[in-house]
A and B are shown apart, each in its own frame.
Chain A
């Protein structure tokens, strides 16, 4: 059964009609070919219409769609299976919410890292809903240092509702782990490409997000806080999440306009999950183009450009 978001109700109704007509033809031998074609056309149109006018909150919902592809699916496609997953932070344990390893994309040897959400109830728990603990960030850093040592570009996939807020996370220094990643990533002497593929929640996302190039897929969000938490804090109730989503300017389109990301990667109409391969191809094109370009830049220059880019972010008045 497909999962429909609240605003996809018209699509759901049409698809139910479609199913009925297919059934009618199969079981009762009624010729509904004409109707089926009409409904299919209508579905396409409706979907296009809905998806060309998504509100920021609706994009947040698409970014969290349970059927959306996650990091390991991207890695699998991009590397065509020429990938070895590496585990552990060498300190505490292996964080299942942060995955990474070495692989090859069309001849480019790279290190791939990303937050990983689970594909079903059991796996979602196993992956801690994509919320890394400090060891996740330290594992990511270890892999980045490995990349630097062997001069391999780093590609990160960002998809997290936030770094995990727990007792052990605090005991093991969640803040320090993220902070160190920001500092080390800024100065890493190999190319870094970051892509927000789902949710980009705050420091938990930025912890693997300091790249020479930072992209967002079309239906993702990236901000300092989730719309729900923002609503709770500023309006003192969770009822203003739609309004908060608008105020935060968290969509790929707004982030690009504000020059906080380098580009937007197209998704199929209806979201990444409706045609994962098309999504992966779009990502691959961008990654290959950047790899070719960034590999020409000297290690020192790469770090310098990255640092300058992030240091230019922010808007102030100077009297």
Chain B
């Protein structure tokens, strides 16, 4: 008895939430439930106008926001994963890659490009979380390495936008070594005195945090992004305690001294431009 007994009386779902929304036309904020027309949401740079929630966006959107007139030349667009380990879990890695490419229209989890930002040359690398959690395998490492090479060769500032769960398990130690590879390249970028800004967005964890994402001349982040080395679940299981409020948010990381500033998406382009300009060697 009592299995189907309603414990709290009345209908508790607000009618607004219950409403069937045709996909694509409206955007409903997952944080505050505020609903806007998709077109307006895009105009607001995929940020909730009510609670300032920054929706996760990909390279397409960031390039649109940052490059003047959305004009850019993509670098090494045709690098794809080679499955060096013939990795199989519940699925073959090659099949997973193919399916993800088809679903997302992307080749891998990062795109790199060069173009103008407020009139100045810039190289931008941007990760796509929709591609296997933005995980870093050989392709991600190699594209970032080559983007840095391009920056060094042409003396153009480098901006890396991170959004990743970390290293890609299906390439195992090859993925791990991409951490060393990208960091080694950044050592050369540093020696060439070409400025590097690392923008950390929701979420940036694992091997990406433990390599290029934390190595900017400036490390900056969007508001309220999850930023950390170990994921919150792993930490919780290890210490068997609840995690403090606001743990591993951008604000937390800023407070502990690992970020230079937090920037809202609407100010992103201008503030990054300004930062690069102030770092320019005259």
> Which residues of A line the B interface, CB within 8 A?
163-167, 169-176, 178-180, 182-184, 186-187, 202-203, 206-207, 209-210, 222-225, 230, 233-235, 240, 244, 247-250, 255, 258, 260, 306-307, 310-311, 313-319
B221 within 8 A of A: no
Contact B176 A224 (CB under 8 A): yes
Stretch in B2-10, B55-63, B239-247 touching the partner? B239-247
Return chain A residues, CB-CB under 8 Å to B99: none
Q: Out of B176, B185, B229, name the residue touching A174 (CB < 8 Å).
A: B229
Pick the residue among B76, B138, B178, B187 that contacts A183 (CB under 8 A). B187
User: How far apart are the CA atoms of A191 and B235 in the complex, in Å?
Assistant: 36
In whole angstroms, what is the CA distance A169 to B256 when docked? 11
Known: A179-B210, A203-B179, A224-B167. A235 touches B89 (CB 8 A): yes
User: Are A313 and B215 touching (Cβ within 8 A)?
Assistant: no
Contacts of A315 in B (CB 8 A): 82, 84, 138, 174
| Contact call B169/A234, Cβ cutoff below 8 A | yes
In the assembled complex, which residues on chain A have CB atoms less than 8 Å from the CB atom of B190?
A: 183
Inter-chain CA distance A230–B187, complex, in Å, is 31
User: Within B181-214, which residues are at the interface with A (CB < 8 Å)?
Assistant: 181, 183-188, 190-191, 206-207, 209-214
Cα–Cα, bound, A183→B214 (Å):
11
Complex Cα distance, B181 from A306, in Å, reads 10
Which of B18-26, B67-75, B139-147 is the contact stretch? B139-147
20 A-B pairs whose Cβ atoms sit less than 8 Å apart in the complex: A166-B230, A166-B235, A170-B229, A175-B228, A176-B209, A176-B214, A179-B211, A179-B215, A180-B214, A182-B211, A183-B186, A203-B179, A206-B179, A209-B180, A224-B207, A250-B173, A307-B185, A314-B138, A317-B79, A318-B76
206-260 of chain B: CB within 8 A of chain A: 206-207, 209-215, 228-230, 234-235, 238-239, 241, 243-244, 247-248, 256-258
Residues in chain A near residue B168, CB distance under 8 A: 224
- Tell me, in angstroms, the Cα distance from A144 to B218 when the chains sit together: 24
Are A318 and B78 also in contact (CB < 8 A) when A180-B215, A206-B179, A311-B185 are? Answer: yes
B198 to chain A, nearest CB (A): 10
Instruction: Please indicate the chain A residues that have their CB under 8 angstroms from the CB of B187 in the complex.
Output: 183-184, 186-187, 307
Q: Shortest CB–CB separation between residue B221 and chain A, in angstroms?
A: 13
CB distance from A251 to the nearest CB of B (A): 10
Q: Is B15 interfacial (CB 8 A cutoff)?
A: no
Q: Are B209 and A165 in contact (CB under 8 A)?
A: no
Asked whether B156 is an interface residue with its Cβ less than 8 Å from the other chain, the reply is no
What are the residues of chain B within 8 A of A235 when measuring CB–CB?
Answer: 89-90
Instruction: Assess whether B172 is interfacial by the CB under 8 Å rule.
Output: yes
Decide if A311 touches B169 in the complex (CB within 8 Å).
no
Please determine whether A316 and B177 come into contact, CB atoms closer than 8 angstroms: no
User: B81 an interface residue at 8 Å Cβ cutoff?
Assistant: yes
Which residues does chain A contribute within 8 Å of B241, judged by CB atoms?
167
Cβ A182 vs Cβ B180 within 8 A: yes
Contact of B85 among A187, A206, A247, A311 (CB under 8 A): A247
Q: Say whether B238 contacts A206, CB under 8 Å.
A: no
Query: In the bound complex, do residue B174 and residue A165 qualify as a contact, i.e. CB atoms below 8 Å apart?
Result: no
Which one of A171, A178, A310 contacts B184 once the chains associate, using CB atoms below 8 Å? A310
- From 147 to 178 in chain B, residues with beta carbon under 8 angstroms from any chain A beta carbon are 167-169, 171-178
CA distance A260 to B211 in the complex (A): 18
